[in-house]
Copies of this chain bind each other. A is one copy, B any other.
């Protein structure tokens, strides 16, 4: 992509829509081939344009992590939204009820207090019918949210089913791993035995997406990062550089002795996310033009690079393209993104769901 002549100031986000389109089509084809409903997570791109494209290509709807993200997507015309996060607090629950007037919402819960709040919100929006709720499960011992045993999943499903304003709709697991199949199967069978067969068994995560079909109980899948991919996905073997659709475009601002180079992309441009927590040695991003260079430290506005193994030194003012470690975190730092097709920037658009962490 030719960017030297265009008026954007670095650091900025540059997305190759041709790569995006290929990533979207490949995942949709995989899901189609295995009878899995694709419900992409918008937390990565935060762009209505791409959410609509995902639906055009066959997605059954979208996933949003937070209510405010869902509100932004509903305002842009998306109508079938899973909010994959416990919705809590009176103000937020009232807004959830309002949102049901403009979009088909599915909620999740992993505890009784969350179920109680959802039941209250659903009572405020009776015209939308009972609110479908998935029980969030921790089938792989990830240790974040989600109930820990199939028996707990059944108990919470019964809490949901017992409330007239709610409808038990199934299970939501994260992250997907083939080893979790026994857990999922047991939960499905227990639920069925209790008269609560799950309509939806949703799993998610880009790294293991291509193994979703190995768990036949899974009939819906959530993926976010696959749209752009990043250095983390490359590190996990889930993407190649050619699958990475986004770059942080940056300017070299200093070249000093001993391979010491500074670029204008720091933690406020790339995020401080490492390939794995604490693994500073893995660096903060990949400079496409200089794969041997290492971004070994970040200040807020400076990327500290070691070019000793890069073969050659850049010059001050040179433009470089950086594949960030974690594209979701990087995107969330920018109000706008440049969209390119056929090697040319077509438009620079706002990212309406940026910062929608509420």
Contacts and interface: CB of A to CB of B under 8 A. Distances in A.
Interface stretch (A22-30, A228-236, A264-272): A264-272
Nearest to A251: B88
A273 B267 contact: yes
Given A9-B91, A355-B333, A113 B301 contact: no
B86 A300 contact: no
Contact of A12 (B255, B301, B358): B358
Contact of A85 (B65, B253, B316): B253
A175 to B, nearest CB: 10
Contact of A299 (B9, B95, B144): B144
Contact of A316 (B66, B113, B271, B329): B113
A47 to B, nearest CB: 16
Given A88-B251, A88-B316, A355-B333, A302 B145 contact: yes
Q: What is the oligomeric copy number?
A: 2
Given A254-B110, A329-B268, A355-B335, A304 B144 contact: yes
A229 B190 CA distance: 52
A6 B271 CA distance: 31
B144 A86 contact: no
Contacts of A32: none
A149 to B, nearest CB: 10
A268 B357 contact: yes
Contacts of A329: 267-268, 272, 300
Nearest to A145: B254
Interface stretch (A49-57, A163-171, A209-217, A274-282): A274-282
A278 B278 CA distance: 4
Interface in A52-101: 65-68, 85-86, 88-89, 91-92, 95
Contact of A317 (B12, B88, B143, B335): B88
B271 A271 contact: yes
A67 B278 CA distance: 32
A204 interface: no
Nearest to A271: B272
Contacts of A301: 43, 65-66, 85, 357
B111 A255 contact: yes
A326 to B, nearest CB: 8
Given A267-B271, A333-B332, A117 B257 contact: no
A316 to B, nearest CB: 4
A260 B333 contact: no
Q: Which of A65, A251, A269, A357 has the most CB of B within 10 A?
A: A357
